[in-house]
Structure 1
């Protein structure tokens, strides 16, 4: 078995690729794809996701679009414990801190990323060696009306704070489903933002993340 050389042609094709790797370990997939396995994820946090992208034929890379743009589907790998509970929050996309005039929830990158998601849970228990962690069954999800409203309310509240120059006042405690927190390899990385006086300042990049409570409910409906 080898990774595909072309993107999936349909949602069914994508799900079939998920089914083909379900139950296999990250080590097995890495060996079959001739990909080196890091000793741990401390400096390679995105490695499992990149390996899965290779096996599913994702093409977007780091571009601000879905991982499968032809299908309008975003891939989200999610580490889980033995009870299928998420072990961490789920990164969605960077939070623009300047120049976002006129963007609405409907045209936001957050909604674009979350309109249809392929969730692919992975064993994430740190007691399990990285190479031995197995891939679970993937499934497609789109937010229902209640979930979309919850995400929208959080996005609008957080985006308004950014627009008002209050980015430094945003904490990870704000937002029921979606929250913002720093997103950078180190505290030395800075980006432009505006303060309350409209002046340009330097601050740490921020990212939108889904709370564990939100993704746990999604997983519970699928596997509970």
Structure 2
């Protein structure tokens, strides 16, 4: 049987939201069937599978490029695994953090702010005891940071970037930042990238990624759904 053709890219934000609303209530198994994909048994080796499946159904074309998933609309798709209590089960990866050539970078023109300027959040059941194919997709929401949220993100970003510039990247822990954290992002510990050491010397370290903390994403969901 030929594999179904991916839907074309949505032309407007409303069309994208309508498509996402049509997925709500379906299981990942049903969506995989419609896309002609066999779901993995679990997400241990396929962490991005849920996002990729929803991208296929919604007509996203960016793939792994460092641009919003829906390039022409400037919208990023973020799936968010939800527990029985309706709250996020894990932090949300945003993008890889720059570790060299960072002097003079500003929040207003940063890659991460661009990524977060317009986000389509899609909650998905994420409790481990629910088989992957039986997990349901929830109702989507379209979000842009409020003035307060933008200020919170900016404060954390500036604090973390200052530490990177000062050669303290190895001292940054997940506890730094109120709503945004920086932590290693690599498939394995052999993948190293360049950064600055404390004396300004080049060092090799694990790539780092920016992640939104769960209480921040929980507040976004709560405001829309309660």
1:29-108 superposed matches below 5 A: 29-108=31-110
Residue of structure 2 in register with 1:196 after alignment:
198
Alpha-carbon contact 2:41-2:132 (below 8 Å) kept = yes
Compute the displacement of 1:145 (Å).
Answer: 0.6
In structure 1, the gaps of 5 or more residues are none
Compute the displacement of 1:58 (Å).
Answer: 0.8
Compute the displacement of 1:3 (Å).
Answer: 6.4
In structure 2, the gaps of 5 or more residues are none
Alpha-carbon contact 1:3-1:56 (below 8 Å) kept = no
Residue of structure 1 in register with 2:7 after alignment:
5
Equivalent position SS for 1:119: strand
Deviations 1:30-58 (A, max 9, x none): 01101121111111111000000000111
Q: TM-score, normalised by structure 1?
A: 0.97
Q: TM-score, normalised by structure 2?
A: 0.96
Alpha-carbon contact 1:3-1:57 (below 8 Å) kept = no
Q: 1:176 to 1:3 in 2, by over 3 A?
A: farther
Residue of structure 1 in register with 2:145 after alignment:
143
How many equivalent pairs are there?
223
Taking the aligned partners of 1:193 and 1:15, their CA distance within structure 2 comes to 40
Taking the aligned partners of 2:131 and 2:168, their CA distance within structure 1 comes to 42
Taking the aligned partners of 1:25 and 1:137, their CA distance within structure 2 comes to 12
Q: 1:127 to 1:50 in 2, by over 3 A?
A: same
Alpha-carbon contact 2:9-2:61 (below 8 Å) kept = yes
